[in-house]
Structure 1
Amino acid sequence: MTLLQFGDEGARRIERVYATPDVVAQRREVLELLRPVPGEEVLDVGSGPGFLLRSIAEAVGPAGFVRGLDPSAAMNAMARARCADVDWVGVDEGGAEALPYAACSFDAVVSTQVYEYVADVAGALVEVRRVLRPGGRVVVLDTDWDSVIWHAADRELHRRVMAAWEEHLVDPRLPRTLPGLLERAGFRVTDRRLIPVFNPEYAEDTYSAGTIDTIGAFVTGRQGLGEDDVARWAADLRSRGTDYLFSLNRYCFVASATGEPP
C-alpha cells in the first residue's frame, strides 16, 4: 500500500483545495456538529493545513486549548503559520494509530478524511476513546469513493485512473463500517450526516477541479498509466464546460463516549 506523501508541493495543492467553497462549506458543517464551546480542550486528528484547527480555536477561546496532530511536517508548518497568533493552539507531529496524549485529555476529538488511510481503524478509535474525558464526543468524516460520479468521455481510461487512485487509501469505502467500529471502540453514535460535494460545471475554484492535479500526480506510473494517459484524462475533464459534472458523498458520524476509557 502506497499512501499520499505531502511534501511542500503536495501540501500546497491540498491547501488550495481546502480553501475552495466546497470544502469551506464542509468544514462549516463539521464545526456545527462538533459544537465547540468556550473553555473546551479539543483535538484535531489529521489537522492538515490548519483551517479547521483555527476555527475550533476561535470557538473555544483563550480559556480553552486546541491541539492539531498530523504526520506531515509540511502540513504542520502551514497549520502553525495559520494559527501563529493564537496562543491556545498547539500542533504536534504524529499519526492516528498512537495518540501522544495522556488519557482523559480532551473534551472532544474531530477527524476529517483521515481514517480511510489508517490500517488499524479499530485500534485508532480506541485511542480516541482513551484520550477523551467521560462523556466526551468525537466527530469523524470520511469518503466512500464508490460514490464518485465524474463525467468523462473515455470511460475506460477514467475507470483506470480511479482504480489507481484507490491505491492511496487503506479503505476507500470506510463509512460503511464506521458506526460499528465506533460502537465497538466504546462510543454511542448519536448523529449521522451525508455531506455531498457537487460541482455541476467546471470551475477552477471547486474541490473537483483542484483534485484533478492531486489525482494525476499520484496515478502516473500506476496500473499502466503513463503521463500522456493522465494528461488526456485531465484535459478531457477540463474541457467539459457546462457538460461537466462531479459529485461525491462524504459521511459524518457524531458519537459520545460511553463507560470508562480503556
Structure 2
Amino acid sequence: MSMQHNTAQPASGTDRLIRLLDAADALPAAAALRARSYDLLQLTASCAVVDVGCGTGRAVAELAARGMRPIGVDRDERMIAVARARLRQADLRLGDAYQLPLPDGSVNGYRADKVLHELDDPSRALAEARRVLAPGSRIVLIGQDWDTIVIDSDDPALTRTIVHARADTIPAPRAARRYRNLLMEAGFLRPDVEVRTGVFTDAAMLPVLAGFADAARTTGAVTGDQADAWVTDQRRRAANDGLFLALPLFVASARRP
C-alpha cells in the first residue's frame, strides 16, 4: 500500500508507515480480506500476478505460498529495500502504477490494495493495468473511501469536518466508490463490488486519528484548539475502552476482455 505517484516519503516517514502497516496487516480481518482478494483473482498454480503498490511484500509472499508467480511493484525505494530483505527470492521491482515495468499482456492477474486513492489519475492506472493483463485475466482493487470513515466522538460536527478535511488532502479520496465505474470506463467486463468493514477499538489507532486532526489543522479547516480538544477526547475514549473507528473497504473485481 505505498504506491504514491507524487514525491516519495523520506526514509523516516516510510519507516513509520511500515510499522503501522505491519501492525494493521497482522490483524485477522486484514488477513481475511487479503485472502478474499487472492480468491477473486481466480488464478491457477504458476500464474503470473502483479501486486501494484506491494509495500514490504506481504501479499507477494502469500501469493507465492499459493503457488503463484507474484511480481511486486512499488515506487518507494525504501519499501522495496525492506521487501527484498524480507523476501530474498521474490521478484520485486521499482515501478510506477502509470508505467509498470512489464510487457504487454504478460500477467494473469493484477492486484492493487489501497493504491488508487493515492493517484491523481486512477483511470490512467487502470489503462496500464489493462495493458499488462493477458486477455481473460482478472483485476482486483481494494481501498477505502476517505469520506465514509466513521469515528465516534463527543462532537459529531467537528468529527465530520476533520474527516472531510483529511479526505481533501488525498489525491483521489473517493476513488473506491468509483471502482465499478472506473473499471467499466477502462473496458473491463462484469465488475463486481463487495464491502468489508473494519472496526477498530483500541489505542493503536490513536496515531491515525491524531494524523486526521493534524491534517485538518494544517488545511485550516479547524483551529488548533479544536484539533487538540478532539484528540484529547479520542485519547480519553481509548483509555476507557471507548474508542470506535469503522472503516468500510471496497473490494472490486473484473475481467479483462
Instruction: Report the TM range for the smaller structure's normalisation.
Output: 0.7 to 0.9
Give the gaps of 5 or more residues in structure 1: none
Q: How far, CA to CA, are the matches of 1:218 and 1:10 in structure 2?
A: 16
Task: Give the aligned CA root-mean-square deviation in angstroms.
Answer: 2.7
Give the C-alpha shift of residue 209 in structure 1. 4.7
Q: How far, CA to CA, are the matches of 2:127 and 2:83 in structure 1?
A: 26
CA contact (8 A) 1:141 1:251 kept: yes
Give the C-alpha shift of residue 184 in structure 1. 2.3
SS at match of 1:181: helix
Query: Alpha carbons of 1:235 and 1:76: their partners in 2 closer, same or farther (altered >3 Å)?
Result: farther
Q: How far, CA to CA, are the matches of 2:181 and 2:161 in structure 1?
A: 31
By relative contact order (CA 8 Å, sep 6+), the higher-ranking structure is 1
Alignment match, 1:251 = 250
Q: Report the number of matched residues.
A: 248
**11-20 or 95-104, larger mean C-alpha shift:** 11-20
Q: How far, CA to CA, are the matches of 2:248 and 2:7 in structure 1?
A: 21
Alignment match, 1:81 = 85
Alignment match, 1:122 = 123
Report the AA paired with residue 101 of structure 2. P
**161-170 or 134-143, larger mean C-alpha shift:** 161-170
Give the gaps of 5 or more residues in structure 2: none
| TM-score (normalizing by structure 1) | 0.82
CA contact (8 A) 1:51 1:82 kept: no
Alignment match, 2:25 = 18
Alignment match, 1:179 = 180
Alignment match, 2:236 = 239
Give the C-alpha shift of residue 228 in structure 1. 6.1
Q: How far, CA to CA, are the matches of 1:144 and 1:224 in structure 2?
A: 20
**228-237 or 26-35, larger mean C-alpha shift:** 228-237
Confirm or deny that 1:43 pairs with 2:50. yes
Could you list the per-position Cα deviations for residues 2-29 of structure 1 after superposition, in whole angstroms to 9, with x for gaps in the alignment?
Answer: 8883532233233323223342232222
SS at match of 1:147: coil
CA contact (8 A) 1:38 1:59 kept: yes
